[in-house]
Structure 1
Amino acid sequence: MKKQVYLWCSLLLLAGCKTSKPLPPGVSGAQDGTFRIALGSCNDTDRENFLWDDILSLKPDLWIWGGDNIYADTGDRDSLRAFYKAQKQIPGYLALEQSTPIIGTWDDHDYGLNDAGSEFEAKARSQQEFLTFMGVPENSPRRRQEGVYTSHTYSLPGGSVKVMVLDTRYFRSPLTRDPGGNKRFIPNPEGEGTVLGEAQWAWLERELRKSGADFNILVSSIQVLSGQHGFETWGNFPHETRRLLQLIADSGARGVFVLSGDRHISEFSRTATPPLAYPLVDFTSSGLTHAYTGFRGEPNPFRVGDVVSTESFGYLVLDFNANRAIFRIVGDGGEILGELAQQY
């Protein structure tokens, strides 16, 4: 499917350890008190990339990669570089790069090994290639930091948005295989292991507690709330999930929600997070080029609405005037496959 693409405003590709920039005049958020974000994950350069025209047609103010941005499954730098080059040569993505700021995180297949965590020996080399793909300068502190986590703040006339990009790979402890074979993984013994590692935990606490943004977004390549399906999830480390929810509740940050990927399905999850006056939403958007079309169901007590098991991307409208976020799952042709509105 082809559409005529109009490039509407040349914006800088955001890079570096931390970004805080007002958006240039002419973008949607500067005009009507909203900020529009598109996001996606699970993108294979060897498959048809057919959603970029739909993404471009919505003219997002920001694109967020949720991980598995390529399917390399290697720690070889030359191979990684070739996969990233192939992604940048896809016309629709090239047009997005030229019109829209791009940020994001990685997951296992661009990290370099399926289901891998801290034990992956090539992770430092993989990090450098990922940062190059994301346009991070060679002299950025992120080049010397362990892990790809970072934050970006966007200031507009109506308010501000802070995006905290987490790294759920570099420090993540080994997973526990299900000895019964009913699931791929089961939760680690209580208190054992970490998702973020202590350095990243300390960073995240500082970022949340000092944030004055109207909306605070956590980007996690794996799901936070849905933890019973037996694949990769924060639920494999229950004590880390509780720690994250407690930090969000105690931080005082406004309008916090999670964006996640990995699963080749898209869904909304939501749970109460006292003492916050609003529930925590985990919006899973996956995948861009291939989906879990054989999905027949799995437990998720926090699910809101139906699971989407066809190719899709995420689209958010953050409304500063109404203190509201509208989350949408969007498919080919711009079809809205799911929607959730949350008041903050």
Structure 2
Amino acid sequence: MKIFLISIFSILLLSCSTNKKVTVNKLDKIDFVLAFGSCNRTDLPNLLWDDILNTQPDVWVWGGDNIYADTDDMEALRTIYTTQKKNKEYKKLIENVEIIGTWDDHDYGLNDGGVEFEAKVESQQEFLNFMNVPMDSPLRKQEGVYSSKKYDLEKGSINIIVLDTRYFRTSITLDTETDKRVKPNEYGVGTVLGEIQWAWLEKQLNQSNSDFNIIVSSVQFLSNEHGFEAWGNFPHEVDRLEKLISSSKAKGVVILSGDRHISEFSQKQIDGMNYPLIDFTSSGLTHAYKGFTGEPNPYRVGNVVFTESFGTLEFDFSSKKVDFKIIGDHGMVLQKLEQNYE
């Protein structure tokens, strides 16, 4: 399989599993556009919503840290969510585009938090309110915000699988020996998803007949050496997901991630898969790691983007091709990747 990467610059959910018939009319053989992003502060300029709308997305996917609250005070959390929903440009997105997604630690409520966060039940309800999830939705009674949404189009279908990497995630190990924040747990110790969510995810992939299966993870999956939060801190969970993706034979699996205040493409060839697994990280919408000077990522393709940006995936069902784009202010394409899934 050939991959074509063009580096433009070297610097720089929710609903239950349902089917939705989508009618789209895209140019240049684009059948469906998914736009996504993460790391969005309400107290900083929201500069990218007009650019996001200009990509004519069929769905916007929040990748986490949709607001910054870091609180167990639900009134304070609700106030910040309300501020975001009142943003003039974001309101246009709400009015024109379906919105799904997940959370990460700063909108979950506890920095680097997981299963131990005592206000997670209440916080989940505020998140669902922000996402305009109906009060009678089963998600209101479910533990965790994981969900899936299938989009049936004339030429094929896309299944978006939204994970919750916070509600069940057990303790991470602080690194007291180097200048990194955390280090991997001992193999077999801890979980990212918890067994209930794992069973649900296995069913999603094993039973999927979609042409593309997009997995949304708030934290990076492939990049594993930077010393911050990532699936790599639970190496046995990484192995488990890779084996599941391969054994399920689910088509066109892609991982979307956020969290890092940088955007980049990572890819890895997994045993049993005839295409590389791509982890597309898009972060952040309002603030980026502008002091970035480099970090190891054995799976990186191209360059790290460290200015404000969002991501898009443009699907062409006829050729089974996806164009991945990192896009900045004024619609500037900062980097792109093309992958065929035949």
TM-score bucket (shorter structure): over 0.9
Aligned to 1:233: 230
Q: What one-letter code is carried by the residue in structure 1 that aligns with 2:284?
A: G
1:300 partnered with 2:286: no
Query: Residue 301 of structure 1 aligns to a residue in which SS?
Result: coil
Tell me the residue number matched to 2:4.
Answer: none
1:57-93 CA distance string (max 9 Å, x none): 1111110000000001112211111111000111111
**1:16 CA drift (Å):** 2.9
SS of 2:337's partner is strand
Retained in 2: the 8 A contact 1:216–1:257? Answer: yes
Assess if the C-alpha contact under 8 Å between 2:15 and 2:100 holds in 1.
no
1:139 aligns with 2:136: yes
From 288, 298, 316, the counterpart of 1:319: 316
Alignment pair present for 1:173 and 2:176? no
Deviation at 1:33, TM superposition (A): 5.5
Instruction: Name 2:274's counterpart in structure 1.
Output: 277
> 1:32: Cα distance to partner?
4.5
Q: Is the 8 A contact 1:28 1:36 kept in 2?
A: no
Aligned to 1:255: 252
Residue 88 to residue 331, structure 1, CA distance change in 2 (3 Å): same
Q: In structure 2, which of residues 59, 64, 73 is the aligned counterpart of residue 62 of structure 1?
A: 59
Matched, 1:43 2:17: no
**Could you tell me whether the CA contact under 8 Å between 2:14 and 2:147 is conserved in 1?**
no
Which secondary structure state, in structure 2, belongs to the residue aligned with residue 28 of structure 1? coil
The residue type paired with residue 126 of structure 2 is E
2:331 is equivalent to residue 337 of structure 1: no
Structure 1 CA distance for aligned equivalents of residues 272 and 36 of structure 2:
29
- 1:288 equivalent in structure 2: 285
CA RMSD of aligned residues (A): 1.3
How far, CA to CA, are the matches of 1:272 and 1:317 in structure 2? 22
| Aligned length in residues | 329
1:185 equivalenced with 2:182 (yes/no): yes
> What's the counterpart of residue 203 of structure 1?
200
Q: TM-score, normalised by structure 1?
A: 0.94
Go from structure 1 to structure 2 and tell me whether the alpha carbon gap of 1:228 and 1:170 turns closer, same or farther (over 3 Å shift): same
CA contact under 8 A between 1:37 and 1:315: conserved in structure 2? yes
* Match among 325, 328, 331 for residue 328 of structure 1: 325
Instruction: Describe the SS at the equivalent of 2:336.
Output: strand
Query: Normalising by structure 2, what TM-score?
Result: 0.94
Partner SS state of residue 199, structure 1: helix
Q: Which residue of 2 aligns with 1:18?
A: 17
Which stretches in structure 2 are left out of the alignment for 5+ residues?
1-12
CA distance in 1, matches of 2:161, 2:26: 19
Deviates more, 1:50-59 or 1:285-294: 50-59
SS in 1 for 2:315: strand
The residue aligned with 2:96 is: 99
Letter in 2 for 1:18: S
Give the C-alpha shift of residue 190 in structure 1: 1.2
1:165 counterpart letter in structure 2: V
Letter in 2 for 1:244: L
Residue 84 of structure 2 corresponds to which residue in structure 1? 87
> In the alignment, residue 16 of structure 1 is paired with which amino acid?
S
**Letter aligned with residue 280 of structure 1:** L
Q: Deviations over 1:9-34 (max 9, x none)?
A: xxxxx8532221011x4x33599461
Letter of the structure 2 residue corresponding to residue 17 of structure 1: C
2:70 matched residue in structure 1: 73
For 2:291 and 2:27, how far apart are their aligned partners in 1? 42
Summarize deviations over 1:293-316 as a string: whole Å, max 9, x none: 000000001000000000000011
SS at match of 2:117: coil
What residue in structure 2 maps to residue 11 of structure 1? none
Percent identical among aligned pairs is 60
Gaps of 5+ in 1: 1-13
Q: Using CA pairs below 8 Å that are at least 6 residues apart, which structure has the higher relative contact order?
A: 2
